[in-house]
């Protein structure tokens, strides 16, 4: 639908929708979406901060596309998940050109899920929200000097007029606040590439690509809980938490990371090939913010007295990553095995939190009615009244920023980095076989194991338990959240894949049986441990765990140059956790009535279909397209409400798109 090459990776076994925010929503071998690597023409193409693809690369500009989900060679790094590797088109001795267009409109789409249920049945909007999209593009390539110098250029214009549906409560709907707001996007990617055949063994390529994007990127978000009962009333919804800080807003940083690798391949026998590699990554980005530490420590000591709180972070300089692979081939059968260490990279998000919330902040305040350490109105004699007093204070200005000067002072919250913070990695090994049965039929089967290590998690270091009482270690602060390498994950999977090709088409099928567990759900900004004294409380199924994953794809060319292609996907349900805003025991940590991710939501199933017709007029080739996504209009619910206090508990709050259709054309010259 979006005609982006990364969407093609969903056909490969071992890939499921990603979780954890940011990234490109692809979980490879159970890892976070932001842990994948993107390479275009041999160079990294990753937006480091978000762990996602940095360049808009139109499908028609791509010559080759490779998905590596595990045990890739040492030349590929800064990724503990998988690799998407792309080679762009080049010019040749033959001039070539293409123009294409793809069009969508709300009139071709089915009405979406409205985000609510009545008597256990889902509600839908009366019609699809206003939407239109026009995508026009093309490319041209050819020789500048025959057999020696070539050019290729491509451009696209995407204009999307869409709608944003606000998930707001009845409190805001009652006065007539709009729930559907207009929004839009304009994207103008373009690419210019030149290739020079230096000699028979060497080729020089130069590529420049850029995407000019205009969209709505300034917004303010919040959340509201629809409760089953009203315990307090202050003229509006009850707010129980507030987070805010003040201070300078600008910091400039500069750093250099360096990466080295060596690898080679040996043909040990006619049947056996050995590949060995070693990679060494030096990630200095964990030190960003060190130049601000001394000044912040001075402000802390001046304001509160006592000892400095923060330490500078050292360089993580021992990231050696060996890789090994062996392949045995005889006739039509191949047996393979591989293993290695695969380091991610620091995405600078943790440093950004550290700089904004702590190093540049004059104060970071967090109010929580259910936490005595963060409730300025708390009195031990009346815990319930203390919580009510804070809720009343926050309700006065809701939903606007409260005047914190009118509340009793509370100790501030500090985010900081472990001085020995490291880059996370996975230890992987895999083994499998491939057999070519002839007549276009191949079958593959692999076992994959991946252990995630040193995953970053925030841990509250300001809690002690003495004489049966929880208290702050450092009374100057409410919480001291330290980012530590205490997160772990485990992934085991059996991957199978079959491909069959014949003269008029092809068919493929893949099935993945997997199990993913972890003790964290950290997004790219880092998650927080539930209980700093017992990290096993967070151990459970990973949010990316999909036990069964089936993908079928096929295409067939009928007479009169009519082609029909389809993709069918089934994924078993993702896990979610049950939570409560009430304390169920005597400790101050948030409670789970059930173990983490002990419930499952809705399975996912979609069928996508494309019908195309080719018309030839001399050297001109024209193709028309009709595409349907989720052609069977299946409900695929996501984001299940886990809060026991929510009226939507155990119900989904959103759904994937219902049926969408797209029309298009392509002209090849």
pLDDT in tens, 386-445: 888 888 888 877 667 777 777 887 788 899 999 999 999 999 999 999 999 999 999 999
- The tens digit of pLDDT for each residue in 101-122 reads 999 999 999 999 988 888 888 8
Q: Where are the beta strands (DSSP E) in 306-440?
A: 316-330, 333-343, 363-368, 412-417, 425-438
Q: Which of 355-364, 379-388, 544-553 has the highest mean pLDDT?
A: 544-553
What is the mean pLDDT of the segment spanning 286-306? Answer: 93
Q: What is the pLDDT of residue 228?
A: 37
- Give yes or no for residue 461 having a pLDDT over 60: yes
| CA atoms of 345 and 25, how far apart (whole Å) | 18
**C-alpha gyration radius of the chain:** 28
603-633 as b/e: b if 16+ CB within 10 A:
bbbbbbbbebeeeeeeeeeebebebbbbbee
- Give yes or no for residue 334 having a pLDDT over 60: yes
Q: In which region does residue 330 sit, left (phi positive, over 0), alpha (psi from -120 to 50) or beta (all else)?
A: beta
Comparison of pLDDT for 143 and 162, the residue scoring more: 143
List the single range of 55-64, 224-233, 336-345, 594-603 with lowest mean pLDDT: 224-233
Show Cβ contacts of residue 98 under 8 Å, excluding neighbours closer than 6 positions: 60, 138, 139, 140, 666, 667, 668, 669
- Give yes or no for residue 260 having a pLDDT over 80: yes
Read off the pLDDT band of 253 (50, 70, 90). low
């Amino acid at each position: 639908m979006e005609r982006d090459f990364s969407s093609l990776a969903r056909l490969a076994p071992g890939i499921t929708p990603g979780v954890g925010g940011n990234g490109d929503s692809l979980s490879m071998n159970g890892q976070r979406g932001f842990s994948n690597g993107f390479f275009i023409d041999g160079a990294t193409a990753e937006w480091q901060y978000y762990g996602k693809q940095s360049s808009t690369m139109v499908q028609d500009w791509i010559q080759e596309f490779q998905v590596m989900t595990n045990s890739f060679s040492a030349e590929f790094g800064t990724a503990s998940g998988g690799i998407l590797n792309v080679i762009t088109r080049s010019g040749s001795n033959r001039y070539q050109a293409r123009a294409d267009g793809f069009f969508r409109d709300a009139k071709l789409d089915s009405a979406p899920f409205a985000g609510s249920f009545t008597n256990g049945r889902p509600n839908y909007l009366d019609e699809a929200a206003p939407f239109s999209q026009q995508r026009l593009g093309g490319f041209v390539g050819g020789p500048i000097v025959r057999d020696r110098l070539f050019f290729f250029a491509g451009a696209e214009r995407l204009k999307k007029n869409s709608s944003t549906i606000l998930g707001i409560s009845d409190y805001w709907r009652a006065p007539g606040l709009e729930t559907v707001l207009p929004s839009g996007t304009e994207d103008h990617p373009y690419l210019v590439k030149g290739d020079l055949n230096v000699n028979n063994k060497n080729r020089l390529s130069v590529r420049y690509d850029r995407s000019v994007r205009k969209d709505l990127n300034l917004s303010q978000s919040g959340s509201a809980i629809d409760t089953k009962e009203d315990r307090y009333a202050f003229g509006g919804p009850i707010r129980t938490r507030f987070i805010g800080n003040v201070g300078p807003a600008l910091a400039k940083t500069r750093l250099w990371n360096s990466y080295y690798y060596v690898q080679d391949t040996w043909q040990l026998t006619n049947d056996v090939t050995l590949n060995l590699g070693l990679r060494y990554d030096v990630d200095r980005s964990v030190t960003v913010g060190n130049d601000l530490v001394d000044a912040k420590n001075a402000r802390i000591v001046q304001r509160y007295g006592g000892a400095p709180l923060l330490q500078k972070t050292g360089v993580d300089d021992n990231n050696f990553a060996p890789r090994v692979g062996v392949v045995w081939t005889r006739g039509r059968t191949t047996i393979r095995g591989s293993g290695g260490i695969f380091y991610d990279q620091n995405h600078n998000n943790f440093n950004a939190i550290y700089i904004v919330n702590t190093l540049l902040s004059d104060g970071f305040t967090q109010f929580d009615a259910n936490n005595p350490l963060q409730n300025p109105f708390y009195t031990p004699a009346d815990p319930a009244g203390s919580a009510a007093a804070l809720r009343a204070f926050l309700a006065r200005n809701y939903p606007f920023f409260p005047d914190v000067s009118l509340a009793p002072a509370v100790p501030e919250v500090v985010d900081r980095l472990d001085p020995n913070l490291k880059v996370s990695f996975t230890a992987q090994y895999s083994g499998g076989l491939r057999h070519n049965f002839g007549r276009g039929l191949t079958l593959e089967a692999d076992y994959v194991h991946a252990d995630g290590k040193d995953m970053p998690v925030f841990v509250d270091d300001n809690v002690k338990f003495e004489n049966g009482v929880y208290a702050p270690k450092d009374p100057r602060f409410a919480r001291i959240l330290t980012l530590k390498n205490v997160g772990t994950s485990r992934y085991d999977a059996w991957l199978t894949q079959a491909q069959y090709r014949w003269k008029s088409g092809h068919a493929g099928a893949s099935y993945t049986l997997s199990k993913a567990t972890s003790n964290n759900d950290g997004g790219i900004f880092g998650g927080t441990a539930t209980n700093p004294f017992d990290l096993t409380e967070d151990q459970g199924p990973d949010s990316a765990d999909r036990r069964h994953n089936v993908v079928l794809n096929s295409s067939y060319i009928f007479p009169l140059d009519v082609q029909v292609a389809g993709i069918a996907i089934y994924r078993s349900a993702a896990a979610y956790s049950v939570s409560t805003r009430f304390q169920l025991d005597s400790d101050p940590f948030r409670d789970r009535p059930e173990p983490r991710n002990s419930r499952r939501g809705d399975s996912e199933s979609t069928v996508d279909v494309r019908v195309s017709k080719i018309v030839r007029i001399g050297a001109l080739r024209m193709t028309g397209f009709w595409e349907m996504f989720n052609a069977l209009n299946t409900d695929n619910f996501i984001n299940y409400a886990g809060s026991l206090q929510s009226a939507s508990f155990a119900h989904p709050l959103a759904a994937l798109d219902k049926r969408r259709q797209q029309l298009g054309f392509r002209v090849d010259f």
